[in-house]
Amino acid sequence: MDETTHGKSLLGEFLSTRRAQLKPADVDLPDYGDRRRVPGLRREELAQLAGVSVAYYIRLEQGLSFNASPQVLDALATALRLDDAERRHLHTLSGEPRRRRRRRLPAERVGPAVRQLVDAFGDSPVVVVGRRSDVLAWNPAGHALIAGHLAPDSPDQASTRPNTARLIFLDAHTQDLYVDWPRKARDVVGKLRQAVGEFPGDPQLASLIGELTMHSPQFAALWSQHRVRAWGTAEYRMRHPVVGELEVLQHSLPVPREQGIRLVVTTAAAGSASQAALRLLNQSLRPTTEDPKASRSATARVAPVTTPPHA
């Protein structure tokens, strides 16, 4: 499958999958029960709801037409009951061929400005992730919170660099870390869906998705649903092996002028037991005797990103 064909399938698969997930009753249409031969809405029903011709909609779903007007895309998004993140994803996929002519994406690096930004969060756990969800850097608290079972310097080397999607689906420690693992898994898959739309033709991203599909039935099932999640703020309950259960907010912050790179900062409510647990986690990282070298290791070293076959 060449890049153009693959690009066309992204829009078509998204439309057809989301159409199949809508029941007639969801949009106030009559349900003919056993006489319906397709799951969800028919193409003509969705076209009617969106106010476009059936022939035009079929061309969109078959990947034979691109660059639909924003008004048509918004009408389809409304008919499909898409949320804001999914609506943006639909617009992104519609412009696929034009975006494929952009220059090659630069290698992801964490420069001095990003390291200063990580240090500015003090003892709050911080993880720097790239467009493929690779861990580019973390501070000691970020490492201890999400991956204390891995070597602290693992982001430094291409052969050992962790990937948060791999950790969620293929690492038993990380799966046990989230009390509501299915919800965290849905969020991770939804963000990868968004990444595929934003960075089409990335062979390492495609390889990651193929690997997860082959090795995790849960990932394969979620990936087939074409759900999209926006980066933002999410609340999770965690079950940490050192400090026990805690409720946290994970804030995903885009880094200016660094396409696709984000800081994931974890916080807890002021005065809560969870905030006390995060403080205890930081205290467990401090050496018994103050070591000047240890105090200067707040930010992981920098290395260009090349996703290894297995993180």
Tell me the domain boundaries of the chain.
Answer: 3-99, 112-295
Burial 109-122 (b: 16+ CB within 10 A, else e): ebeeebbebbeebe
Rounded Cα gap, residues 231 and 180, in angstroms: 18
Rounded Cα gap, residues 296 and 20, in angstroms: 54
Amino acid making up residue 187: D
Give the ranges where the chain is alpha helix by DSSP (H). 3-20, 43-50, 54-61, 70-79, 84-94, 96-99, 112-120, 140-147, 164-170, 172-177, 181-198, 203-215, 217-223, 273-285, 292-295
Residues in the chain: 311
* Chain segment 68-89, per-residue pLDDT in tens: 777 777 777 787 788 777 777 7
- Give me the residues of the chain with pLDDT under 70, please: 1-9, 25-39, 65-67, 96-105, 288-311
Rounded Cα gap, residues 4 and 96, in angstroms: 9
Specify whether the CB–CB gap between 225 and 21 falls below 8 A: yes
Rounded Cα gap, residues 50 and 239, in angstroms: 45
What tokens appear for 157 in the block? Answer: 């080397």
Just give the CATH number of 112-295.
3.30.450.180
pTM for the complete prediction? 0.72
pLDDT at site 276: 96
Of 22, 169, 201, 230, the closest CA to residue 99 belongs to 201
Identify the three-state secondary structure at position 127: strand
| Tokens 């409510």 belong to residue | 269
Rounded Cα gap, residues 117 and 109, in angstroms: 14
Specify whether the CB–CB gap between 311 and 161 falls below 8 A: yes
Domain 3-99 classification at class level? mainly alpha
